[in-house]
């Protein structure tokens, strides 16, 4: 088994009377694509936010390559090696596609020439070189998603958190994004991805974990996890499971 990159140990978050995440623990290994599944309200985004530094855990510990990053600010988590895309892609308006990618790289370097070279390499990787000088606000929704991915990659992450990368995409665009995510892993970047489209996760993830009501209920190979009774109950309810029995 490959070395553990990210270790999440017993993290929890409460908002008033709502326990959004409870005692969540899992490992993520170098070179792995790990899918994070769960119905709406399962606590997936809260878990993401705690890992990325946007929310401070009430309890627990998060380590990256053995380094404790629990409760660090998002920019410090990014510098430590975690990049992130968001469910809603929001490029910097009034700036070109290339400039959006250059901005991301400034997290790690002040060398402008190096930043521009990395941006151009990523534009080629994304198939967006022809759009390099276009205002990012004038892009299609899918092109914006690719810019969001490129901007995250420009921070040179060890681990990339991706949130619903095919939301609103056409079937053809979804296939293209799945291929890109696999190529991201081939670049040496480990991936943790939230996705509601089951077909995408099944074809993309090496392993999946499932959350329900803030807790981890399953961890394993995609084809096995989706057959587990507790997962079927979480997604489809008691009546579905009873009818299928």
Tell me the C-alpha distance between 131 and 138, whole Å: 10
How does 70-99 read in b/e, with b if 16+ C-beta sit within 10 Å?
A: bebeeeebbebbbbbbbeebebbeeebbbb
Q: In the structure, what pLDDT confidence band is assigned to residue 29 with cuts at 50, 70 and 90? A: very high
Residues 93-106: pLDDT tens digits? 889 999 999 998 98
- CA distances to 41, 191, 232 from 237, in Å: 14, 30, 7
Interacting residues of 223 by C-beta distance below 8 A, sequence separation 6+: 202
Q: What is the pTM of this model?
A: 0.90
Mean pLDDT (the chain, rounded): 90
Residues 194-229: pLDDT tens digits? 977 777 788 889 999 999 999 999 999 988 888 888
Structure-derived torsion over alpha carbons of residues 126, 185, 179, 181, reported in degrees to the nearest 10: -70
Could you tell me the domains of the chain? 4-89+154-244 (3.40.50.300)
State residue 92's pLDDT score. Answer: 84
State residue 236's pLDDT score. Answer: 66
The residue assigned the tokens 């990339």 is 160
pLDDT at 88 over 90: no
* Mean pLDDT comparison of 147-156, 225-234, 235-244, highest-scoring range: 147-156
């Amino acid at each position: 088994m490959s070395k553990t990159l990210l270790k999440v140990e017993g993290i929890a978050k409460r908002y008033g009377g709502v326990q959004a995440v409870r005692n969540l623990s899992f490992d993520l290994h170098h070179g792995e694509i790990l899918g994070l599944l769960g119905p709406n309200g399962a606590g997936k985004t809260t878990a993401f936010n705690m890992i990325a530094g946007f929310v401070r855990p009430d309890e627990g510990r998060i380590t990256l390559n053995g380094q404790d990053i629990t409760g660090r600010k998002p920019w410090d988590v990014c510098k430590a090696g975690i990049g992130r895309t968001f469910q809603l892609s929001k490029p910097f308006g009034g700036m070109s596609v290339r400039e959006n990618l250059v901005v991301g790289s400034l997290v790690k370097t002040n060398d402008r020439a190096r930043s521009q070279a990395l941006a151009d390499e990523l534009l080629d990787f994304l198939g967006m070189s022809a759009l390099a000088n276009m205002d990012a606000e004038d892009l299609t929704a899918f092109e914006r998603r690719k810019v969001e991915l490129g901007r995250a990659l420009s921070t040179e992450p060890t681990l990339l958190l991706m949130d619903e990368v095919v939301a609103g995409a056409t079937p053809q665009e979804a296939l293209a994004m799945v291929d890109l995510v696999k190529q991201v892993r081939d670049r040496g970047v480990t991936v943790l991805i939230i996705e509601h489209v089951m077909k995408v996760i099944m074809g993309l993830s090496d392993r999946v974990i499932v959350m329900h009501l803030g807790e981890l209920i399953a961890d394993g190979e995609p084809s096995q996890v989706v057959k587990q009774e507790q997962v079927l109950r979480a997604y489809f309810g008691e009546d579905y499971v009873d009818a299928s029995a």
